[in-house]
Amino acid sequence: MRSEATIIIVASLLVSVVQSSRVVAQCAFIALVTNPFFATNNRYVAEKGYQYRLVGNHGTALDTYRDASRIDESNVEASYGMIYCQLMQGLVEDATQQLEFLSVIQNDDSVQSADLTFLKALIAMRKDRDTTQHLRLLDQAVELHERSYRDGSVTDVLDDYYKFNPDFLVEVAKEYLQHLNTVGGGGGGSSGGASNSGELPKPAVAGLALLEKVTDRVPALLGAHLVMAKARFEMKQYVCRRGSLARSKATSHENENFEHP
């Protein structure tokens, strides 16, 4: 079981950190080599779906998550993955129905997770266009993620990376940054409008804080640098943007030198 978990975590780490076609091919190689052993392992199949999702192939990811769910209907990660991919493909009603079903099953507050709360935030924005609810749920998702990471036990560096889940934090940051041009308003957390300094809306501050946290912990995560650079460009923070682009360019150059042994 330990070797199985290690293979899954390493494959996910490679795609998450580098996200280049060369490394995706290497992860596919790992999948092909191990497939005879894990083809009926729902956790492994769900992880393959997650890897497809990371590179933006939501159609294949959705099919793969469905395969994992058919193997084991209780695989919550596969259910979350299906809902996310449906939302990314514009299948909002299908995603809403599936999320409502999951919410009924997990109606105990003690089992609420960051992933489930994040999906609720996505639907609040894409289905109901409810900005206030969207931001409130994003705040809750971050809080749940931080609590889970802080209170959970970590066995090694790979386990620490897996539980820190930088890709999830980048996704949350992107949602916050949708409100980059929000003006006025108030309130606690990230749900208000302008920040206390009056320079940036609170959601933008929250999104940038998450990206800075991710790039500090995982400096090789190219996508986080690019999202930050784009956000700072829209804020006309050009000096910071140049710094983000320089770091992302350096990271990209290092990734190009990563070759299959």
pLDDT score at 108: 54
Beta strands in 140-204 (DSSP E): none
Do 6 and 84 have their domain in common?
yes
Containing structural domain, residue 221: 112-261
What are the two backbone dihedrals, phi and then psi, of residue 218, each rounded to the nearest 5 degrees? -130, 75
C-alpha–C-alpha distance, residues 261 and 258, integer Å: 9
Do 35 and 49 have their domain in common?
yes
Do 131 and 11 have their domain in common?
no
Q: How many separate domains does the chain show?
A: 2
pTM assigned to the model: 0.77
User: How confident is the model over 62-96, as pLDDT tens digits?
Assistant: 999 999 999 998 899 999 999 999 999 999 999 99
Average confidence (pLDDT) over 224-231: 90
Q: What string of DSSP letters covers 173-194? A: HHHHHTTTT--S---STT-SSB
Per cent of the chain over pLDDT 90 is 44
Do 142 and 43 have their domain in common?
no
Do 122 and 229 have their domain in common?
yes
What are the two backbone dihedrals, phi and then psi, of residue 201, each rounded to the nearest 5 degrees? -65, 150
Last residue of a domain, one of 106, 141, 160: 106
pLDDT score at 233: 86
Structure tokens at 256: 């190009």
Nearest to 96 by CA among 59, 125, 139, 133: 125
Do 66 and 152 have their domain in common?
no
Reply yes or no on whether the pLDDT at 201 is more than 60: yes
User: How confident is the model over 150-191, as pLDDT tens digits?
Assistant: 887 788 888 888 899 999 999 999 999 999 876 433 334 565
Q: What is the CATH number of the domain that holds 47?
A: 1.25.40.10
Nearest to 173 by CA among 130, 225, 129: 225
